Structure 1
Amino acid sequence: MSDLFFYGTLRHLPLLERVLGRPLQDISVQSAVLPDHAVHAVKGQDFPMILPLSGDSAHGVFVQDLSSEDLARLAFYEGAFDYDLTPVTVDLHDGNKREAKVFFPAPGSWKPDGQWSLQGWADRVGDITALAAEEEMAYFGRIEPEVMAGNIRAIQTRAWAKILADKRRTGDPRDTNKDVIVHRHDRAYVNYFGMEEVDLQHRQHDGSMGPVLHRGSLMQGSAVSVLPYDPARDTVLVVEQFRPPAFLINDPEPWLWEAVAGMIDPGEEPEQAAHREAMEEAGVKFDRLEYAGGAYSSSGSSTGFMYLYVGLGDLTHTTNTGGLDTEGEDIRSQILPFDAFIDMADRHVFKDVQLVALAYWLARHRDRLRV
């Protein structure tokens, strides 16, 4: 059995519970301090790092009697962040000193960036990180920590999408706690996207429980799609980029015209994502956004939910170099008169469903927006 000292995100007990895979009442936790050390934020990251600093103290928790299984789970979780266990002596709140091990960052892995606040972190992304850990730890013993490291951002995006989904209530009186029975739920695959499988029953329209269904779903985060519109000039901006899925299905024209679109980052509101993506993909700023609704893009096979907007602003320039190099994006934009744009929609030139939906929403609301 081993004792560990946690100074960072694992002080957040809901996260620790998910990483260890057992309830908090089974875990011995007490406050502790590591003398002559300080906890710093990591530049460009949400998690912290610890560094020796004479006269300072790192506050945290002392967790006793961790099993070899616990240590393996912790090594898997922390290993994705390039941290290693190091022995230290900590001061407990009762005045006693105890030997413990601490996850220290590998030398040169991260750059410190000021003080780090557990409460500030918890307020921003605590719920997201704890929920993401459920998916991460489902692959413990199945993939290497280095592989998991490449999936963490996408997993956190999906965790945030689950939190956003819980807010999408329309008044349906049915209760999934009573009207859905889950017999099996497996996380089958992860490689940026996730694939989950479930055996379940749901209440049918006649009030009875239906048969057990065996279903799989492509797990995705939430996204935004925003159509830039200039009401003064009555013009629309569309973007074009190569789409591998269209190529893989043998579409001979996999360069698709689309509205500006992108994933909603963890902790980001849909409106913030709409403004950010417009600048990244097309260099466009909006005076305001009009919400055009939201919907699942393919509810029978994917969790992807799209928030739709029309962004109002001046459209005066296009680009052939839009997007982020880090994401392999190669985007060009084009400004179209509204009449030409809606004619292209009517002639089925556009193959992107979000662009088609936004085209007809704009057609319905265009007179109001031009006043």
Structure 2
Amino acid sequence: MAVSHHRYIADHHRDSGHALFVFGSLMDRDILSIVLDRDPSDVAVTDAVVRGFQRRRVSDEFYPVLVPRPDGTVVGRLVEGLSADDLERVHFYEGDVYELAPVHATTTCGRRETANVFLDAGDIKVSREGWDFDAWHRHEKQEALALTTALMRYYGRISLREVEGVWNEIKDQAESLYGYDEEAMAAEAKAYP
């Protein structure tokens, strides 16, 4: 993925709230808006990298997971200024298959920050395929928007543990609406190690 140098707001807002390193669909402003249930213009979003990991596709899903790799580098975004409620909403979106862990993220301008990242809690089936943001944007974003919108309607109505059961139902509905082609997506994913 080519690193863009965009920022949603000025640096002076980054000091308040929580910092989160995102590396998948949450790098997309539309997805982030749906998850937060508002325009994310009050949080700072800066391109950043985290070392010691590699990004892989979760088996049979459109989203990635980080796996440890000593020589790995993952390009993502540092999201700063999130409230406790924002983090709860993101955790609901991520589900209980992920857990928060601290990492050191380095922004494109060289600033190093400690941030949290959602890592595999031990239950995720990881594929050998890579995950690429640009490919996701071209081929899977529309389905992801539908899935995210449907999932976040459950926020505050069901527990985090119940998300997985709802997710499978929502996924099936979205796949039938968007004609999701699993074989085509697997072929696309193999092009991005």
TM-score above 0.5: yes
Alignment partner of 1:148: what SS? helix
- Residue deviations 1:15-47, cap 9 Å, x none? 111001111323311100001211011222221
The structural deviation recorded for 1:98 is: 0.4
State yes or no: 1:106 paired with 2:117.
no
Match of 1:88 among 103, 119, 129: 103
Q: Which amino acid aligns with 2:138?
A: D
Partner residue in 2 for 1:131: 146
Go from structure 1 to structure 2 and tell me whether the alpha carbon gap of 1:77 and 1:58 turns closer, same or farther (over 3 Å shift): same
- Do 1:89 and 1:97's aligned partners in 2 also have CA atoms closer than 8 Å? yes
More strand by share: 1
Taking structure 2 as the reference length, what is the TM-score of the superposition?
A: 0.78
User: Structure 1 residues 131 and 43 mapped into 2: Cα distance closer, same or farther (>3 Å)?
Assistant: closer
Alignment coverage as a number of residue pairs = 165
Structure-1 separation of matches of 2:112 and 2:63: 27
Give the C-alpha shift of residue 265 in structure 1: 6.3
- The residue aligned with 2:136 is 121
Q: TM-score, normalised by structure 1?
A: 0.42
How far, CA to CA, are the matches of 1:266 and 1:147 in structure 2? 25
Equivalence for 1:13: 29
Post-superposition offset of 1:154: 2.8
Letter in 2 for 1:268: Y
Judging changes above 3 Å, is the alpha-carbon distance between structure 1 residues 67 and 38 closer, same or farther for their aligned structure 2 residues? Answer: same
2:170 aligned with 1:155? yes
User: Matched residue of 2:157: which SS?
Assistant: coil
What secondary structure, in the 3-state scheme, does the structure 1 residue paired with 2:21 have?
A: strand
Match of 2:46 in 1: 30
Partner SS, residue 150 of structure 1: helix
**Contact between 1:124 and 1:267, CA under 8 Å: does it hold in 2?**
no
Deviation of 1:79 after TM superposition, in Å, equals 1.6
Normalized per residue, which structure has more helix?
Answer: 2
What are the Cα deviations for residues 104-163 of structure 1, in whole angstroms up to 9, with x where unaligned?
A: 011242223221111222222211112222221122111012322212233244446xxx
Say whether the 8 Å CA contact 2:42–2:81 is kept in structure 1.
no
Q: 1:61 to 1:267 in 2, by over 3 A?
A: farther
Contact 1:40–1:49, Cα closer than 8 Å, also in 2: yes
**Separation of aligned partners in 2, 1:150 and 1:265:** 19
Question: 1:123, 1:157 → 2: CA distance?
Answer: 20
> Which residues in structure 2 correspond to 1:138-149 (within 5 Å)?
138-149=153-164
Name the aligned partner's letter for residue 62 of structure 1. Answer: L
Deviations 1:231-258 (A, max 9, x none): xxxxxxxxxxxxxxxxxxxxxxxxxxxx
- Counterpart amino acid of residue 115 in structure 1: G
Equivalent position of 1:303 in the other structure = none
Distance change (3 Å), C-alpha of 1:135 and 1:265: closer
Residue of structure 1 equivalent to 2:60 = 44
- Amino acid corresponding to residue 92 of structure 2 in structure 1: F
Match of 1:267 among 164, 175, 179: 179
Q: Distance in 2 between matches of 1:268 and 1:136?
A: 18
> Residue 151 of structure 1 aligns to a residue in which SS?
helix
Query: What does residue range 1-371 of structure 1 map to in structure 2 within 5 Å?
Result: 1-80=17-96, 82-159=97-174, 264=176, 266-268=178-180
> Equivalent residue for 2:189?
none
Q: Percent identity?
A: 28
- The Cα offsets for residues 199-219 of structure 1, whole Å up to 9 and x where unpaired, read as xxxxxxxxxxxxxxxxxxxxx
Q: CA RMSD in A?
A: 1.9
Q: Separation in 1 of the partners of 2:118 and 2:87?
A: 11
Is the 1:38–1:51 Cα contact (8 Å) retained in structure 2? yes
Measured in 1, the distance between the counterparts of 2:62 and 2:44 equals 26
| Gap runs ≥5 in structure 1 | 161-263, 270-371
